[in-house]
Structure 1
Amino acid sequence: MTVPAEGSRGAAGVGYAAAAYLMWGLFPLYFHALAGVPAPEILAYRIVCSTLFVAALVTLKRRWADVLRQLRAPGTLPSLAASALFISANWLVYVWAVNAGRVLEASLGYFVNPLVSVVLGVVFLREPLTRAQRIAVILAALGVVALVVRAGTFPWVALALALTFGLYGLIRKRVRVDATAGLLGEVALLTPVAAIYLAALGAAHAGHLGASARVTIFLAASGVVTAIPLMLFALGVQRLRLSTIGLLQYVNPTVQFGIAVLVFREPFSAAHALTFGCIWLSLAIYSFEALALARRQAG
């Protein structure tokens, strides 16, 4: 089944969104280069450096008046505070998973994420489930149960990543801010706590900035690495149908899956094969249903 045609504007959108998802998919390689640095410290640098980078970008584009207008809208900052908590929890679990050798489970979380978002839509937005969506959700649940029963492990990393990112998306869906203003608001709200934490590490001589040239460069660049794919994604979303975005989002976990198995050589057991098989089948059903719905709406 092909993606519905969207013209030259859509072609550019596919390029932007695909680049964003590819960058996110390559994140395991980036954060693996920071192995030995505790996940909370990486998170703190990611927050502070993101704030500095986005603030500099807003200054260069002379967008402060527009950004502040968006952030001052009633209810915006409390909503961004909530979304900031979920995205920071997502970042923390993800970085920990990469450096704990659990990239395979992290990729499972982002495969499951679209289905978790469907369930959250039912619970919080009263969105009805189609028959195909119900089958997809049940298959995904069976896949998780199969991993618990056959491998004897509960995939808490995958579920934590899917749930925190799903809740983040649910909140951001209701906040009327663009990607730049939203990201700046979130990281700026988190920056005081992150800065205090980093100052405490420095006072105790326990920080890793300056430990080596590689570590220093990667920590300092974490803000750029965080912000650029989010901005590319925002440009893609503006030009594409949601059904197209729904298909492109699998680029991220697919690349992570390949890195986990082929580069990091994480074990892929029969239990994993059964679980991922159930998830992939459920996603195929979900995607075909989304494309069919998009065609009916367009026709």
Structure 2
Amino acid sequence: MIESIIGEIRANRSFLVTTHESPDGDAVGSSLALAVYLKRLGKDVTIHFNDPVPELYAFLPLADTVVQNLPDRDYDVCFVLDVGEFRRAGRQVTECTRVGSFINVDHHLTRDNFGSINYIDPSAAATGVLVYRIIKATGDLIDYEIALPLYTAIITDTGSFRYSNANPEAFAISSELVATGISTWSIAEKLYESQPRQRLELLALALSTLTISERGDFASITVTLDMYRRTGACAELTDGFVNYPRSIRGVEVSVFFREVNAGLFKVGFRSKGTVDVSSLAATFGGGGHHNAAGCTVEGTINDVRQRVFAHLEQAL
């Protein structure tokens, strides 16, 4: 599979690199690392995200070159990274007819095989790991500029190496990346120690909605459109909110309800391992990993909560 991808890289000139909507650290890091590598080979590269790069990751190389509007031109190959469901790449990409072929690189347990090449490995800690494997297999050097976004991809998707996906490969790769001269403290400071005031104000409102089940085995918090208006915060500042309910002793699954539009909610799930939340999300048309998944549900907040909680009760 990797050799096929390398063959496509060597045989073609123009590349589109994209990822899922509301990009997280792995989506951003793996995309930028691959783009840096392709540009180094002299390739014509466009990086397209359906949504802007979160300010949190603005320090990464090429972050300022990402576009939201897909240029009206042809591409030999489109790399679609970290996208479990093709629709999450956005309509500009899914409906694009000016791409020669799609290469799907992903590590989600639930996924679409939409590419002409589908390099998918759910055992990988992050999509950044798969990008590392591809570049490493070419024999080319992985230097500071590539290592920085790759390390960011791995550290964010493993929860700073706290999650169960922090396997030996993730640590081994990270060790090699750190050896290029990247500063682990500098990255951690940018990711975790430089929060805007609005995020903490929004978190305070979200935590006030904390709901815990009677048995204490699942808990949830909610962010509404009104909370955004009251704090001046935006959706990208909610990254990591879902982990707070999970940190409660006895809670096996946490749920984060985020209002996207009136009557429409993004629902994020996090599990401590007992419950496969990818299956839970799939019942609502979503997907993800065993311990981290999500979906979109229509209805009032009370209706959405009741439906999700009913499925959770059965799962637990």
TM-score range (shorter-chain normalised) is: under 0.3
More helix by share: 1
Q: Structure 2 length normalisation: TM-score?
A: 0.25
More strand by share: 2
Relative CO higher for 1 or 2, CA cutoff 8 Å, sep ≥ 6?
Answer: 1
Q: Structure 1 length normalisation: TM-score?
A: 0.26
